[in-house]
Structures are given as structure tokens and as C-alpha cells.
Amino acid sequence: MNYNLKSKKYKLNIILIASLTNLGAGGKFLHSLLDDHPEVLTIPNAIQQFCDVKNFDKKNKKDIIKQLDQFKEFFDSKYDVTKGRANLGPNKNLTIKINKKIFFNYLDNFLKENKWSLKNYILSVYFSYQFALNKSIKKKYIVIYLHDIFFLKIIHRLFNKSKILTTVRLPINSFATYTRNKKIKAERTKKIIRGDYLHWLYSVFKFQDIKEKIYCINIEELHKNPKQSLISMCKKINLKFDNSLLSSTFNGKIWHNPRKYVYAGFKFQNHNKVNYAEVEKDVCHLIDSSTKNFQTFLGYMRKNDLKIKINTKFPVKSFINYFFYLIKFFIFRSNKKNIYSMYELIRLRYNEFKNFNKKIGDIKKYDRNTNFKKKLILVNKNSHIFKRN
């Protein structure tokens, strides 16, 4: 077998998927829709689950392969409970399994034949996965799913002719999901410090670092008018429309979203209102006021929707609550890893809070002065009016 990635058989077009409004914006859902398309080759996982993208060049080959070898969800999805791949199929009793020995046999051959690099490693993993499943690689596209937009600049630099698909969601709802899915849960939704909002918002505007234009899919509109949205997407990226796009699957098996609402496929009723219940009012107002032009461009707001003045003073009480919650959370888990994690969280919060008001001002200025039309191509414009309190 020819394992040279420069040969014609491995020359496929690349589609990169990321979430423009960060976590909880439906990137994995879009990935699941493309999963079973006859022209698409993909794997169920995000690449940073098995590869430290940011630090790839700082690590040796042995450690990188070891990280993949220890990623048990990659080889048997019964371990992938949190992302819903342990309960696939109509009866939620199916999983995905590949032979580890066969996979690494293919991977070793690819890595011997090609220069060691992040790009070649990613491609080698994708093709080895297909061969281990005895699947054809005679496709038109490789779909690479990124967990969030932080890695998009790095990966797009490797695949500079790729199409970029991003999902976008009503920012307050995206932020609610982001905080709900954090490892530290329970009290954090009501007492969340606004530093988390800053961390989230910077990622929202991270797409401006990308030189190429970005195709933007409104996740609410996708749930409301799925076929029209997907036909529009296919026209934009030159992909043939196929009815498989209307099924949410991984490796052809029906996928059930395991988050707050457990469902398969399209459910607009779970996306048709603003989630004020899980995010503090001042944070909601802060998100809306800081991203007003961004949201207006996306169709989430009308120009006269926001009339509330926002207090951007340093949230002392919220910070103190959060600090003591961290101590309580880690007090019974006093191993080195958790102590380090607590230190990192506090350090990040401190750095974010040092210039809290300045950052808010900079973000508002950025939102006010940015022409989003020059960067984003709307695939399916939002047709739903969100009622705001």
C-alpha cells in the first residue's frame, strides 16, 4: 500500500468546523450532520482530544503517540459518555469500536513514510482510522472538527486552502451552556464572576485573527429550517446536498445530544428563547451591551433592543464567593493536579480582573468599530425574533 500523503489518493479538500461563539454553540452538532455524507471523510472526535495542538512542536513524537494511545474513547466510544457517543443508535445501545492494533499498524506506516509534522500527523490519524474501519477513502472532503475557535488559526495555517464553517448561537445561551458544562458546577451559575464572561468574549472575537472569510451557520435557524439551511451551506462550500445531512450521527449511528436536553436531530423549541434563568442579569446585560453590533449583524438583536445602562465595576462580592467555592471544591481533592488547577484558575482570574473595566471598554469599542460583513458570510440568516426582558 502507498502511504505517501503527497500522492493523489490522499489529496482531499479540507473543511474546518469551529464554534464562533465558543462552547455550547452547536459545532459538534454540525459535525454530526456531516458525518455520514457520502463525499465526507471524518472521525467522531475533535483533534485536540488526542493531540496537544498548541504545544505539538514542544513535545517529542513518543509522547504525542502515547497521548493518542491512552485516549480510550478514540478506540471504543463506550467510554465517551459525556459527549453522548456511548449511547448511539435509535435504542441508545450502540457504540463505535476500532481495532487498536490495526489502527497503529496503519499509523506507523504513515509516519514512517512522511515527514513528522502536525499536518501529517493529523492526516495520518484520519486515514488510519478509516482503514482500521475498512472504509473507503475515496471522498471529496475531510471534515476536521475543532472543539473551539482557539485552535482555528493554527490549523488553518496548516490547511490554508480549507473552507471554514463556524456555528453561531445567541451569545447569552451559548454562555449559559459554557458555564453549565464547566468542570466546576453547582453554585457557579448564580455566582459566576464576570471574568468568565471576559474569557468567553475574547474567544468570540478570535475569528478576526483568521485571514480568510468564514462561513457562519446560525444554529437556531438550522434547527428551525434544517433543509433550507443545509442546502444553503452546501451551495456556499461546493458540497453536494445529500439527505444524510438531515441525520445527526457518528459513524452512521444516530447521536443523542447528552447535554441539558437529550434529543436527536432538530428541536427548535430548545433554542427559541433567551436563557435568562442560568446567567446573572448583570452578565446578560454585559453580553448584550458589549456585542450589540455583532448580534445585530447576526439577527439576534434589533437596534432598539438595548436601553439598559451597564455597571462595569469590579465584581468584588462575586469574586469572593467564587474564591471560597474553589477552596471548598478542591479541599477534599488535595492531589497535586487539583492543587495546580486551583492555582491556575485563581491566577487567570487575577489577571483578568486587573484591568476589568479597560477590557470591557476595549471590547465595546471593538464591537462598535468592526465591519462584520467583511469577515463573516452568513449561510442562514436568523428569522426568529428573540424577546428580551
Domain with 130, as residue range(s), is 8-172+204-278+372-378
Asked whether residue 153 is assigned to any structural domain, the reply reads: yes
**CATH number for the domain including 90?**
3.40.50
Number of domains in the chain: 1
Asked whether residue 38 is assigned to any structural domain, the reply reads: yes
Helix (H) or strand (E) run with residue 320 in it:
helix 316-330
Helix (H) or strand (E) run with residue 339 in it:
helix 336-354
CB 147 within 8 A of CB 83: no
Asked whether residue 145 is assigned to any structural domain, the reply reads: yes
Residue 72 DSSP symbol: H
Strands 249-250 and 253-254: antiparallel
Asked whether residue 166 is assigned to any structural domain, the reply reads: yes
The arrangement of strands across the sheet holding 214-218 comes to: 40-41, 141-145, 13-19, 163-168, 214-218, 376-378
Residue 109 in grid coordinates: 506506516
Strands 141-145 and 13-19: parallel
Q: pLDDT of the chain along its 389 residues, tens only?
A: 899 999 999 999 999 999 888 778 889 999 999 999 999 999 999 998 888 898 899 999 999 999 999 999 999 999 998 888 999 999 999 999 999 999 999 999 999 999 999 999 999 999 999 999 999 899 999 999 998 788 888 899 999 889 999 999 999 998 888 777 655 554 555 555 666 777 778 778 888 888 888 999 999 999 999 999 999 999 999 999 999 999 999 999 999 887 665 677 898 888 888 988 877 777 888 888 888 899 999 999 887 776 555 555 555 665 666 666 666 666 655 554 455 455 655 665 566 566 677 777 888 888 888 889 989 999 998 898 888 76
Asked whether residue 385 is assigned to any structural domain, the reply reads: no
Asked whether residue 80 is assigned to any structural domain, the reply reads: yes
Asked whether residue 300 is assigned to any structural domain, the reply reads: no
Asked whether residue 313 is assigned to any structural domain, the reply reads: no
- Is residue 241 helix, strand or coil? coil
The structure's pTM equals 0.86
- Please report the sign of the dihedral spanned by the C-alpha atoms of residue 32, residue 34, residue 38, residue 43: negative
Helix (H) or strand (E) run with residue 216 in it:
strand 214-218
Q: Where are the beta strands (DSSP E) in the chain?
A: 13-19, 40-41, 141-145, 163-168, 214-218, 249-250, 253-254, 376-378
- Phi, psi dihedral angles at 3 (to 5 degrees): -105, 10
